[in-house]
Structures are given as C-alpha cells and as structure tokens.
Amino acid sequence: MKILKWIGIVMAALIVLPFVTLLILSHRANAGASHTEIEIAAAPEAVWPWLDEGARLKQWVSWLVEVREPQPVHHRVGAPMTWVMKDENNGGALMPMAGKFTEYNPPTHFKFSIGSPREMFEGEEAYTLVRLDNGHTRMAIDARYRYHQWFAALMEPLITPAADKKMRSDLAKLKSLIETHAEAQ
C-alpha cells in the first residue's frame, strides 16, 4: 500500500512539475519576444524587394502559400496584407494571418502587426536593414507575440524557440536566394 502511495506521488509530480514550469516560463518578461539578424552580401535596395513583394516572399518564407494584398498594391502605413500559411504543426491546415503595416520606410525599415484567425495570437514584427561599409546589409528582425488561447500561452516557452529556428532557416534561404541572384547579374 505504501508503494502505491509513492507511485501516485511520483506520477502527480511528473504531471504537475512540467505544467508549473511552463506556467512560470510563459510569464517571464521576454515571453514571445525574439531577435534574429543576418548579414547579406547585397545592398538594402537589393534586399528590400524580397521583403516587399508577395511572389518573392513565397520563395523564402517556409509554409507561406499565398500573399493577399489589395489591388493595386500600395504598401504604406495602414496597408493590409494577409499571409496564408500551411501550418505544418497543425496537419498542414491553411491558416490566414491578417496584418497591416504600422511603419513603412523603404528600403530600410518596416513594422507589421499581425494576428491569427480566432484571435489565438497577435504580434508585431519589425524589419530593419542597415547598409554596411562592405556593401552588405545587416537585416534584423525583432518580433513580439502574445498568445490569447490558454494552451498556446502555456506552450509559449516551446513555441518561441521553434519559431526562432524556423526564422533562422528562412533567413538562410533568403540570403542564399539574394546572393545567388546578385551573382547571376
């Protein structure tokens, strides 16, 4: 009987401890925040179209299958855009994410607010391009997401690192595409 009690305590601890850990981590000051940067061997003017044109975005942003923009396209503060993602973490379901530009200064900076369907999360991404002395560009992305659905908020300590990994992979692809395109010209 005593052994069953200890087994029950251990089993409860195995369930409660991870839950409490995730709960505490999901409330840290930088929850949902990420910073990623990369140096690209091209000027900001050559990098900008890869961030600003839907057809080019689909070439380097994994999971992105469609970019919906009002026609004619006029990017500016307040301009809407919807990214349709094939969410590989959700059985390949299509997930439209609607957003709008909150800052727009080509070819060096834009900020975009974005939200998911059913208001599961919302966030902002700021893209900054800095011209370097060697003719290269340092591109930095600062993002901050807030999760409104309780399970997603609880899982934020796992979601943010996975999103960072995806972003680093996407940026490596972007770098390769731009540098290969520049070499071909």
For the chain, how are helix, strand and coil distributed in percent, rounded to 5? 45, 35, 20
Q: Where are the beta strands (DSSP E) in 30-136?
A: 33-40, 64-68, 80-87, 93-105, 109-115, 121-131
Residue 183: the pLDDT is: 67
Full-model pTM: 0.86
pLDDT in tens, the chain (185 residues): 688 778 777 777 778 777 777 777 778 889 899 999 999 999 999 999 999 998 999 999 999 999 998 877 778 898 889 999 998 877 888 989 999 999 999 999 999 999 887 778 899 999 999 999 999 999 999 999 998 988 888 889 999 999 999 999 999 999 999 999 766 66
Q: Which of 3.30.530.20, 3.40.190.10, 3.40.470.10, 3.40.50.1220 would CATH assign to domain 31-62+106-184?
A: 3.30.530.20
Residue 106: the pLDDT is: 94
Distance CA 25, CA 18 (A): 10
